[in-house]
Structure 1
Amino acid sequence: MRRYLVGGAVRDRLLGLPGGDRDWVVVGSTPAEMVLAGYLPVGKDFPVFLHAQTKEEHALARTERKTAPGYHGFVFHAAPDVTLEQDLARRDFTINAIAEAEDGTLVDPFGGARDLGARVLRHVSPAFAEDPVRILRAARFLARFAPLGFTIAPETLALMRDMVAAGEVDHLVPERVWQELKKALEMPRPSAAIALLRACGALAKLLPEVDALYGVPQRPEYHPEVDTGVHVQMVLDMAARLAPGDALVGFCALVHDLGKALTPKDKLPRHIGHEHSGVRPLRAVCARYKVPAEFAAVAEIVCREHLNVHRIDELRPDTVHELLSRCDAFRKPQRVKQLALACEADARGRLGREEDDYPPARRLLALHDAAAAVSAGHAVAKGLSGPAVGDWLREARIDAIRAARASL
């Protein structure tokens, strides 16, 4: 029995990045021998075990064979005669197909170390085309590694286009699409994921509402980048910069301008009312991918309210109060910060505006803090009850907003 460290742990060490989970491949063993050696079986589809002390995953070397469309249609074969090279050959990218023996020797049959040095994301073999999830994984890896200079290999992009044309992405289940999209939104350059999905044709299949934004012009005095799709990519990256690893804010950035794709051509480049027309396609995206309720709720708030936040200094105190109430901000105060971050990403996700200050975010937070400091307990202390509590609370919070604004 021989074991080898594989996958992300090897890749990230070679890149000089902090290590994450350590996964191992075991060659020359059987499930019975693993159990006798003290490993704990946990795999359902193929033999995977946990080390009794470290709890690190150990999988028996295996091959796989495509038997049906989609990513569930595989038959796995694990046996003592499966070699390490055969196991590595079934992996997605060369940079993930490097193994390290316990003495530190690298086993790299597909040139993964070379591609790490060249900063290239390249598929291991034509078998890549058998699993449509790998399109999503390519997008996620590029979102993570693009800041290091990584690009997609031309032949890998061509293969991904062929997969889309063959209808492979049609077999992806919504939960898996959302899982991979959410991970991409947590990465430092999520725009790279969206750009890659668009380049291979998958964006039009998976997120046609986002794909439709490309080529839609905006007023250049407000959007020097002009193209709405380009703007959304810039907003995504600004959101990742302002709220690193926050997929909720990233999702808000992705879908905040969907209404602009619905603007009649004779009205372009103006987009009057896009904040309201964008709600319907946003809800369609959330329903299609079973987006978590809080993600969907906050994204809708951002879509509907981002123009109000941009012009918060022009809003009357009672209008600010109504905005906060629509956000359910007094019961869920975290939403105000999420709204402020997404709106700042929108304002600064524009060509030449990346380093601009964005006072409306601070003002929104300050006005909410002032209003939230007034509670129903204050009304009860005044002897009020029933509907009178709500009436008093509304007026007192509006007064607090008015006083806070005067002090800003």
Structure 2
Amino acid sequence: MQTYLVGGAVRDQLLDYPYHERDWVVVGATPQDLLDQGYQQVGKDFPVFLHPESKEEYALARKERKSGTGYHGFICDFGPEVTLEEDLQRRDLTINAMAQDTEGHIVDPYGGQRDLQQRRLRHVSEAFSEDPLRVLRVARFAARYKHLGFRVADDTLALMQHISASGELATLSAERLWVEMARALGERDPGEFFRVLKNCGALPALFDGWDTALSDALLSTLDQALDLGVEARFALSASDMGHSQCRSLCDRLKVPNQASNLALHCARLLPLCKLPDADEALAMLESLDYLRRPEVLGEFLQVARHRGLPSQAAETLARAADALRSITAQALMEQGYKGKALGEALREQRRDTLQRLLSR
């Protein structure tokens, strides 16, 4: 039985790039061999085990055979007869198909080190085209390593175009699409993720119309939005869509509520927020639920700044929200207001306060 460090940890060590997880492959062993050593089995489709002390994942070497459509359409073969080279061959990119033995020697049967040196994202084999999820994974790696000079190899891009045209992207679950997109949005150059997907025809295959809504200028803005979190970056990426198209996108991808709500706010309200009048500003703040969820307004204004809202306008709206929160119904109730009259008086006070702030 032999154990090898594989995948991202090997790649990022060679790049001198930070990494946080380590994955291992075990060659020449059976599931019982690992169970006898105290490993805990967690895999269902194929045996994956947790180390008894480190809790890192150890997988038995395996091969895959295409058996259907989508990224679930595979049969996995594992056992002590499967070699390390066979296990590495099933991986997506050459830079992810390297291993390191216990003495630190690199096993690189498919030219991963050469592709690291040449800053190239290249597929391991023609089997790449059997898994549509790899289109998004390659785009995500492009977003992670663009600043280091990496680009997708021409022949790999051609395979990605073939997958996009085949219709297999439609077999990917919405949940899996969002996981890959959220990871990409957290990378160094998230705009590159969308550029690669546009270049290979994947964006219109995933959601019709998104490719036209993502202009070159918007993608450049997205790359520069280093202060934004994943939810805000998603909202920024969808900010040139109409409200109904943005809702369709969020429904298609089953985007989590926090991200989808912010994206919908931005799609509807960004065109209105450049120093609006008092009535428009109050309606906007109420739509953003500024009283109960001040953090939503903060994220919205962050996105709005990247879309060209002047800092003065953003600061004015933030100050206005703070001022309006101090206007409570209690003081008006003490003056004798109640019922419908109380609501009207409260709204009028807030409107007057906004008018004074906006006119400065």
Query: Normalising by structure 1, what TM-score?
Result: 0.83
Superposition deviation, residue 401 in structure 1: 2.9
Over 3 Å counting, the alpha-carbon distance change for 1:367 and 1:60 in structure 2 is same
Letter in 1 for 2:227: L
Between the aligned partners of 1:399 and 1:197, the Cα distance in structure 2 is: 49
2:221 paired residue among 235, 254, 277: 235
Superposition deviation, residue 380 in structure 1: 5.1
Partner of 1:354: none
Partner of 1:341: 302
Superposition deviation, residue 9 in structure 1: 1.4
Over 3 Å counting, the alpha-carbon distance change for 1:238 and 1:359 in structure 2 is farther
Secondary structure, aligned partner of 2:59:
strand
Q: How many residues align?
A: 360
Over 3 Å counting, the alpha-carbon distance change for 1:388 and 1:32 in structure 2 is farther
Partner of 2:324: 371
Between the aligned partners of 2:306 and 2:287, the Cα distance in structure 1 is: 21
Superposition deviation, residue 67 in structure 1: 0.8
Between the aligned partners of 2:337 and 2:69, the Cα distance in structure 1 is: 65
| 1:11-70 superposed Cα distances (whole Å, 9 cap, x missing partner) | 122222222111111111111110110101100110000011111000011111001111
Partner of 1:108: 108
Question: Aligned-residue CA RMSD in angstroms?
Answer: 1.9
Q: Is this contact kept in 2: 1:122–1:156, CA < 8 A?
A: yes
Matched, 1:307 2:271: yes
Matched, 1:317 2:281: no
Segment of structure 1 superposing worse, 63-72 or 376-385: 376-385
Superposition deviation, residue 393 in structure 1: 3.1
Segment of structure 1 superposing worse, 381-390 or 98-107: 381-390
Within-5 A mapping of 1:64-79: 64-79=64-79
| 1:61-103 superposed Cα distances (whole Å, 9 cap, x missing partner) | 1111001111111000110111111111111111111111122
Over 3 Å counting, the alpha-carbon distance change for 1:375 and 1:84 in structure 2 is farther
Q: Is this contact kept in 2: 1:8–1:20, CA < 8 A?
A: no
Partner of 2:155: 155
Partner of 1:395: 348
Query: Normalising by structure 2, what TM-score?
Result: 0.94
Matched, 1:38 2:38: yes
Partner of 1:353: none
Between the aligned partners of 1:381 and 1:138, the Cα distance in structure 2 is: 63
Between the aligned partners of 1:247 and 1:133, the Cα distance in structure 2 is: 20
Between the aligned partners of 2:56 and 2:277, the Cα distance in structure 1 is: 58
| 1:115-153 superposed Cα distances (whole Å, 9 cap, x missing partner) | 112211111111111100000111111111112211001
1:256 paired residue among 227, 231, 239: 239
* Structure 1: gaps spanning 5 or more residues: 214-227, 259-277, 349-356
Secondary structure, aligned partner of 1:81:
coil
Q: Is this contact kept in 1: 2:277–2:358, CA < 8 A?
A: no
Between the aligned partners of 1:65 and 1:284, the Cα distance in structure 2 is: 35
Between the aligned partners of 1:46 and 1:347, the Cα distance in structure 2 is: 50
Q: Percent identity?
A: 42
Within-5 A mapping of 1:114-193: 114-193=114-193
Between the aligned partners of 1:152 and 1:369, the Cα distance in structure 2 is: 48
Partner of 1:216: none
Between the aligned partners of 1:378 and 1:43, the Cα distance in structure 2 is: 61
Secondary structure, aligned partner of 2:76:
strand
Over 3 Å counting, the alpha-carbon distance change for 1:381 and 1:292 in structure 2 is farther
Over 3 Å counting, the alpha-carbon distance change for 1:65 and 1:372 in structure 2 is same
Superposition deviation, residue 231 in structure 1: 2.3
Between the aligned partners of 1:305 and 1:360, the Cα distance in structure 2 is: 14
Over 3 Å counting, the alpha-carbon distance change for 1:134 and 1:325 in structure 2 is same
Over 3 Å counting, the alpha-carbon distance change for 1:395 and 1:93 in structure 2 is same
Secondary structure, aligned partner of 2:307:
helix
Between the aligned partners of 2:336 and 2:259, the Cα distance in structure 1 is: 39
Between the aligned partners of 1:14 and 1:389, the Cα distance in structure 2 is: 68
Letter in 2 for 1:369: D
Between the aligned partners of 1:73 and 1:172, the Cα distance in structure 2 is: 11
* Structure 2: gaps spanning 5 or more residues: none
Superposition deviation, residue 376 in structure 1: 4.0
Secondary structure, aligned partner of 1:331:
coil
Partner of 1:222: none
Partner of 1:220: none
Segment of structure 1 superposing worse, 388-397 or 83-92: 388-397
Partner of 2:208: 208
Q: Is this contact kept in 2: 1:336–1:364, CA < 8 A?
A: no
Secondary structure, aligned partner of 2:308:
helix
| 1:319-347 superposed Cα distances (whole Å, 9 cap, x missing partner) | 21111001122121111111111111222
Superposition deviation, residue 388 in structure 1: 4.4
Partner of 1:195: 195
Secondary structure, aligned partner of 1:208:
coil
